[in-house]
Amino acid sequence: MNCPLINGIVITNIPVIRHAWNSLRIPSCELRLDMTLLCGQVFTWQKRTLNDNTSAYFGVIDGSVVEMREEEDDVLYRQLQFDPTEKVDDKLTDKIRSFFNYSDDGVKLKTLFKEYAEIDPHIFARIYKYYPGVRVITQDPFECLICFICSANNNVSRITLMITRMCQKYGSLIGELNDSDFAPISFFRFPNLQQLSTATEQELRDLGFGYRAKYIVKTVRMLIEQQEKIGSDFLMAMRNEPDRNIVIDALCKFQGVGCKVASCIALYSLEKFDCVPLDVHVLRLARIHYTSLMNEDDMVLLDVKGSVNAQKQKKIMDLFVSVFGKNAGWAQMVLYGCQLAAFKTRMPEELRKDIFAEDQAKAKELAKKKKKIKKEKVKEEIEEDEDEEDEEIEEQSIENLDVKREIVKKELSEYDETFSSTRVTRSRSRALKEIYCLEESPQKKIKK
């Protein structure tokens, strides 16, 4: 664990300098912290409940420790400084607004969500009002890549614990906050590429990363090789690539990264807002409620619990974009978040039961339809196989017949030469010719 240095001396128990509160000038309809920071798109922020029953959110942005609180129609922040010799970041406001993808000419949720409600009156229009201010963030791509490699077969709490342990072992300690309102919080910079390159698979396994440990070690090695090859940050360069499928394919080359994880990285760190990560929650709504996604020709219609390969995921993303447009990833935040245990109770129970009761009814109907389609498909495949078998038998019969014809021709030639005067031989010769279609029978000639 690294501790802050002042003039080369290790400093511990540094009294924190709490700077003045500043306004982000972001209204409540555009940013609410709880769901934005704690729904699983970032794993290094912490929420604390204060003595006055309000909440504070703590995290690190570009090396600066930040405390944030919500006002009725604004969000406030202040920098927590642990090193008195460190210069205060005068561009921190802009960095935080950028982190939340908020700018005067950027995505405005109030306008965007109203458009989505008109497009989707059945689901989105009924639920979005309970989830205001849920923004897509843009975090450091390397941090995002490592965190989402850890997300496979995992939950938010465990991922957060794993990343905290990683930061403690390989990152740099900024300082520790001791507050009477809550337990102490230690703040670390997320380890950079060079720091994490010292990690071994066994060390990460000891920290609880399991099979993901080898993926992280191999991915770090690949990134270092890429950096040496192109001479720049490979992940940051991906922000300039406009085609999300090219970005997804490039990310899938890293160990432990499939299409869904790649979509998360592209959306939450590379500004590919047309990416729609397809977890089980989003797929459930997509299969049941969005009829435009039930495209049998594209083989998107699947059982509710069925798996979806990369090719089909890309097709479903294309269809989501056809419904919600170039910022479809922002719609995904609401469709995904409304089903999480921590946030689904924001919807009235009656509405929740109504939507998910429809889910169950439509799921059964869809399963029946899928079963029927599957039976028809199997029947077609069997018929095709039978046709192919018949063709193969016919081809084989023709081949065998040709061989037999050649043999008969040879035999007949020998018979004709040796026993040409014998009536029996002439009769046999004529019969063989008829059987193997070497000569038409007298009856056939008459019919013609």
Nearest to 116 by CA among 132, 128, 100, 101: 128
Q: Mean pLDDT: which of 126-135, 173-182, 416-425 is highest?
A: 126-135
Average pLDDT, stretch 48-71?
A: 94
Question: Looking at per-residue confidence, does 442 or 133 come out higher?
Answer: 133
Cβ pair 167, 195 in contact under 8 A: no
Nearest to 177 by CA among 286, 59, 321, 293: 59
Give the CA distances from residue 54 to residues 50, 51, 68, in Å, rounded to whole numbers and listed in that order: 5, 7, 11
Cβ pair 312, 260 in contact under 8 A: no
What's residue 294's pLDDT? 55
What's residue 406's pLDDT? 66
- Percentage of the chain beyond pLDDT 70 is 72
What's residue 6's pLDDT? 44
Q: Mean pLDDT: which of 227-236, 266-275, 279-288, 399-408 is highest?
A: 266-275
List CB contacts of 79: < 8 A, sequence separation 6 or more.
Answer: 19, 64, 65, 66, 88, 89, 92
Give the Cα separation of 242 and 232 in Å (integer): 18
Give the Cα separation of 60 and 64 in Å (integer): 5
What's residue 152's pLDDT? 87
Q: DSSP state, 232? A: S
What's residue 401's pLDDT? 59
pLDDT digits (tens, 9 = 90+) for 10-22: 455 668 899 999 9
**Residue 406 half-sphere exposure, CB side, CA atoms within 13 Å?**
5
Cβ pair 32, 87 in contact under 8 A: no
pLDDT digits (tens, 9 = 90+) for 163-172: 999 999 999 9
Domain map (residue ranges) of the chain: 392-447
Strand 74-81 with 17-18, pairing: antiparallel
What's residue 447's pLDDT? 42
Give the Cα separation of 286 and 298 in Å (integer): 14
What is the value of pTM for the model shown?
0.77
List CB contacts of 363: < 8 A, sequence separation 6 or more.
Answer: 287, 288, 304
| Among the ranges given (116-130, 205-219, 279-293), the one the predictor scored with the smallest mean pLDDT | 279-293
What single string gives the DSSP state of each residue in 11-72? --SPPPEEPPPEE----TTT--HHHHHHSSS-SS-EEEE-TTS-EEEEEEETTEEEEEEEET
Number of C-beta neighbours around residue 342 at 10 A = 13
What's residue 364's pLDDT? 60
Average pLDDT, stretch 94-110?
A: 95
Residue type, 444: K
What's residue 439's pLDDT? 46
Going by pLDDT thresholds of 50, 70 and 90, the confidence category of residue 187 is very high
Q: DSSP state, 255? A: T
Place of tokens 């989505």: 116
What's residue 220's pLDDT? 97
The mean pLDDT of the chain is 82
Residue type, 107: V
Average pLDDT, stretch 250-259?
A: 96
Give the CA distances from residue 421 to residues 155, 173, 412, 432, in Å, rounded to whole numbers and listed in that order: 96, 113, 13, 17
What's residue 15's pLDDT? 81
What's residue 404's pLDDT? 60
Give the CA distances from residue 445 to residues 179, 205, 440, 442, in Å, rounded to whole numbers and listed in that order: 111, 88, 7, 5
What burial class does residue 234 get, using C-beta atoms within 10 Å of its C-beta: 0-12 exposed, 13-18 middle, 19+ buried?
A: middle
- Tell me: pLDDT of 408 over 60: no
Give the Cα separation of 385 and 247 in Å (integer): 40
What angle (nearest 5°) sits at the alpha carbon of residue 343, between those of residues 45 and 315?
A: 90
Strand partners, 78: 67
- Rg of the chain's alpha carbons, rounded to an integer? 34
- Tell me: pLDDT of 427 over 80: no
Average pLDDT, stretch 190-199?
A: 97
Cβ pair 95, 81 in contact under 8 A: no
